[in-house]
Amino acid sequence: MKIDDIGAFVSVVRYQSISHAALALDLTQPAITRRVQNLEQALGVALFDRQTKPLKPTPLGLQVYQRCLGILREMDGLRELVAEGAPPAGLLRIGVPQTIGDVVLLDTLTTLRGAFPELRTQVVTGWGGHLINKLENGELDAAVALFPAGKVFPCNLMGASIGKVELVVVCSVADGPKRPTTLAQCYARGWVLNPDGCGFRAGLQRALADQGLSLKVNLETFGSELQLGLVAAGMGLGLVPRLLLERSAHRDQLAPLPVKDFKPVMDLWLVHPRFLGNLQQPVALFGQWVAKALLHARTAA
């Protein structure tokens, strides 16, 4: 029984596809198939129901998968033990939220390059849940993500809060005086938001549901700056980090709308696998500089 065969089996279960597992491991599909077959032969059982699409493990295969995860974690621990003294080199894959990437990345990446010249950094942007999935699948080495305080992460990941991000409801200046209001009172105006899957949108939807209200979405679009432009044009209300409002090119056409029963604050979390090997120092520095950039942006705002 080989570790490479176990790794291939785990990847196929995660991706529910031999072709996707092959892409993730940079192998050919026949190589992945062969490794899975090797593991099945070593165990003497069929691990997948090959009549299903997407590909799914058998009930016994699912139990084997859980045991294999434990084996791979132990192997990561061994690699961590022998790699701690090695200088950081190679590729560091990090993830950042789309909403604050422009705010925190420039100084952070410059600092990483100066501190670890042999390390090449690759950045992925996305929402928090998307980045956590990539960490679980071994596609990222670390990520910062916006979640509520008290967030619980999967057992194979470590998470630490490194800062607070205040969200603010915004509207067009042309809409008139911005007197304090409530979610129910501003319900009819509708919202300009990210598509479903965004943590900000989910938090707003929960707050509305607590009052028996549904979420009225006027427009869905990616990108905070585009959303703020649409809000400035009177297309609805927006929900963004306050620091992005202060940096927006549309700032003069926008105003915060005080909502008495909705004052959301998100934590910015540094999340990474339990075992980092020689990437431990770069990941720690990445978190420190993201926190520093966030604090500086918040103070400047």
Q: What is the DSSP string of the chain?
A: --HHHHHHHHHHHHHT-HHHHHHHHT--HHHHHHHHHHHHHHHTS--EETTSSS-EE-HHHHHHHHHHHHHHHHHHHHHHHHHTTSPP-EEEEEEE-TTTHHHHHHHHHHHHHHH-TTEEEEEEE--HHHHHHHHHTTS-SEEEEEE-TT----TTEEEEEEEEEEEEEEEEGGG-----B-TTTTGGG-EEEPPTT-HHHHHHHHHHHHTT----EEEE-S-HHHHHHHHHTTS-BEEEEHHHHHH-TTGGGEEE--BTT---EEEEEEEEES--GGGHHHHHHHHHHHHHHHHHHHHH-
Residue-level pLDDT, tens digit, the chain, 301 residues: 788 899 999 999 988 889 988 988 888 999 999 999 999 999 999 999 888 888 889 999 999 998 898 888 778 767 665 665 667 777 899 999 877 777 788 888 899 999 998 888 999 888 888 899 888 878 899 999 988 888 888 888 899 999 888 899 999 998 766 788 899 998 889 999 988 878 888 889 999 999 999 999 999 988 888 999 999 999 999 998 888 888 889 999 999 999 999 988 889 999 998 877 788 889 999 999 998 888 877 665 5
Cβ pair 205, 215 in contact under 8 A: yes
Q: Give the Å distances, CA to CA, from 141 to 16, 33, 189, 226.
A: 22, 27, 42, 30
Residues 98, 142, single domain; the answer is yes
Residue 31 belongs to a domain with what CATH number?
Answer: 1.10.10.10
Residues 151, 273, single domain; the answer is yes
pLDDT for 101? 79
Residues 284, 152, single domain; the answer is yes
The parent domain of residue 149 ranges over 90-156+268-300
CA distance 87 to 81: 14
Q: Cα–Cα–Cα angle for 66, 279, 25, nearest 5°?
A: 50
In this structure, the dihedral spanned by the alpha carbons of residues 55, 131, 200 and 287, taken in order and rounded to 10 degrees, is: 160
Residue 217 belongs to a domain with what CATH number?
Answer: 3.40.190.10
**Number of domains forming the structure of the chain:** 3
Of the residues 61, 83, 105, which one is the last residue of a structural domain?
Answer: 83
Residues 48, 197, single domain; the answer is no
Residues 219, 283, single domain; the answer is no
**Structure-block tokens of residue 19:** 């072709």
Which of 6, 32, 4, 35 minimizes the C-alpha distance to 18?
32
Cβ within 8 Å of residue 161, ≥6 positions away: 149, 267, 268, 269
Residues 199, 255, single domain; the answer is yes
Residues 279, 208, single domain; the answer is no
Residues 227, 172, single domain; the answer is yes
Q: Cα–Cα–Cα angle for 95, 99, 101, nearest 5°?
A: 50
Residues 111, 255, single domain; the answer is no
What is this structure's pTM? 0.68
pLDDT for 80? 64
Residues 104, 241, single domain; the answer is no
Of the residues 83, 103, 130, which one is the last residue of a structural domain?
Answer: 83
Of the residues 36, 53, 83, which one is the last residue of a structural domain?
Answer: 83
Residues 150, 195, single domain; the answer is no
Residues 260, 275, single domain; the answer is no
